[in-house]
Amino acid sequence: MTNLTNPIKKQIIKIRGESLENDLKTLLYNERFFDITLKCSNGIVLGACKNILSARSNIFNNLIQHKNINNIEFEKIDSNAMEFILNFLYTCRIDLEKLTIDNIIEIYHATEYFELHVLKKHIIEYTKQILEYENDDSGKKLLSNFVKKFAFNTDNEISQILIEWLAKISLTSDEAEKDSLTLIGLRYFLCKTYNTKKPFATFELDIFEYIVIKINKIILNSLEIKDKQNEKENEIIVAKRMNYYLKLLTPCIDLRRIESDYIIKKIEPMNVFPSEMITDAYRFKLQEENNLFRSIRGIPIFRWNENNLRNNLYISKDGFTLQADQNLDAYKHVMGDLIIRGKGIYEWDIIIEKLCKIIYIGICDHKKFNQECYNNNNQYYGWVLGSDGFVYNKKNWKKYTSEKFKEGDKVTIHLNMTDKTCAFSVNNIRNDYVSEWKNIPSEVCPIVSLKQGSRLRVQHHFYYESY
């Protein structure tokens, strides 16, 4: 007889008859009631009762009734996931406290295999809570675990949730060396979002630089540099491996969204992109109808930048809502974490959830922000629309809208980086481009200025025309 290995050792001592759930749970841990064994992918064998499995799961019913077997082997379900499934089948209890970043995908895979739709729904909702309340790296690890567990071409509900969540996270060079996103996870993410029409937070150039840094870190971690005599040899190895890994990811990178100068100076010399792919990118850029094609895939979205946050300003956990303390008497200027460059049209919405004093919404010079902003004596900074209906830039202002803002209003910024022009809409009523603004720089960031309790939320522009 197969030796059973039960990972839970605690003895369940309950008075029978008081709780159906507890009574059924005793069957799960008492070998007297086992008439079938389940060998899991990690070699652990669990015992179970055929009648309960058949009654609770169509998949188990088919396996047991049609084949009349006393043991089943599962090559892709480990004992952790199987025990979670058995506990649910026996008691209908969902032990969410047992879910972790490391086992959620494994258990989700098991719910799909056994077609347990109720349990799967609870796991999906719990995953959403993790993405909302845990740090950004948790979602990256979940996506990496997903690609490791499922076939690369898999599309299901949890993969869509993870992809859409990661798309709203800015992939920065600083995080590339230390986050948990694997190369295969990154490749899956980029392939699935190549033609996305949904919110996206990372420019294509930044994606490429993130990839290069991540690959370089992976390669260096795999090398043993014992002395300086091996440095040249290691440089050759690094170059070869870099070339190999980059070629795996090149189909997922949209060169049309990267500036020509960067392609010429940085990308072409690497000899990793097919010449046809580079030529097609150049030809695309030369066509006049593509003049508004953006340097970012999907619909641009950003979060408020915590790096330039000051006292008495608060950002929500998801990064999209910014609030000033009631006691903040001086105006503070806060940028979004999206550096807008290149050509194309960029639009985003700011929802005025709470309005105290005048607020200012618009764009600013990314390169000069730290230098100029805190020496600025004005209430505003950059090229902005005030809630008083005036537009402002430096010492210049003029009346722009006939009405002042109120709480609940939606302000949309329409930025044309090809023509370097900017316009605003209030509650979907669009106004003309501000003709006096002829000095918008080549790199800008979203910005707001607020004080004394005002609260603003950024969201992607729903009526966005994708380019």
* Tens-binned pLDDT, residue by residue, of the chain (467 aa): 445 555 444 444 556 556 666 667 777 777 887 889 999 999 999 999 998 999 999 999 998 886 678 899 999 999 999 999 999 999 888 989 999 999 999 999 999 999 999 999 999 999 999 999 888 899 999 999 999 999 999 999 999 999 999 999 999 999 999 999 999 999 999 999 999 999 999 999 999 999 999 999 999 888 765 555 577 777 888 889 999 999 999 999 999 999 999 999 999 999 999 999 999 999 999 987 788 899 999 999 999 988 767 789 999 999 999 999 999 999 999 999 999 998 999 999 999 999 999 999 999 998 888 777 666 667 889 999 999 999 999 989 999 998 899 999 999 999 999 999 999 999 999 999 999 999 999 999 999 999 999 999 999 986 544 44
For residue 109, what pLDDT is reported?
98
Cα distances from 55 to residues 30, 64, 65, in angstroms, run: 19, 11, 11
CATH match of 20-133 with 3.30.710.10: yes
Cβ(309)–Cβ(315) below 8 Å:
yes
Where does the chain hold its CATH 2.60.120.920 domain(s)?
A: 303-460
Write the burial class of residue 467 (CB in 10 Å: 0-12 exposed, 13-18 middle, 19+ buried): middle
**pTM of structure:** 0.88
DSSP 135-202: -HHHHHHHHHHHHHHS-TT---HHHHHHHHHHHTS---HHHHTTS---HHHHHHHHHHTTT--SEE--
Bridge-based pairing state of the strands 390-393 and 383-386:
antiparallel
Q: How many residues does the chain have?
A: 467
Q: Which residues pair with 430 in a beta bridge?
A: 425
H-helix segments, 38-156: 50-56, 58-67, 79-91, 104-113, 117-133, 136-149
Q: Classify domain 303-460 at the CATH topology level.
A: Jelly Rolls (2.60.120)
H-helix segments, 250-377: 260-262, 275-286, 369-372
For residue 67, what pLDDT is reported?
66
Cβ(285)–Cβ(256) below 8 Å:
yes
Buried b (16+ CB within 10 A) or exposed e, 68-81: eeeebebeebbbbb
- Token look-up 């090229």 returns 383
For residue 7, what pLDDT is reported?
45
Buried b (16+ CB within 10 A) or exposed e, 316-346: eeebbbbbbeeebeebbbbbbbbbbbbbbbb
- Token look-up 């997903």 returns 146
CB atoms within 10 A of CB 186: 25
Give me the sign of the Cα torsion angle 117, 123, 127, 132.
Answer: positive
Where does the chain hold its CATH 3.30.710.10 domain(s)?
A: 20-133
Strand, coil or helix: what is 313? Answer: strand
CB atoms within 10 A of CB 416: 17
DSSP 395-440: TEEEE--SS---TT-EEEEEEETTTTEEEEEETTEE----TT----
For residue 78, what pLDDT is reported?
96
> Of 188, 59, 30, which is closest to residue 119 (Cα–Cα)?
59
Q: Which residues contact 436 (CB under 8 A, 6 or more apart)?
A: 393, 396, 398
Cβ(47)–Cβ(34) below 8 Å:
yes
Q: What whole-number distance in Å separates Cα of residue 72 and Cα of residue 60?
A: 10
Buried b (16+ CB within 10 A) or exposed e, 394-410: eeebeebbeeebeeebb
For residue 82, what pLDDT is reported?
97
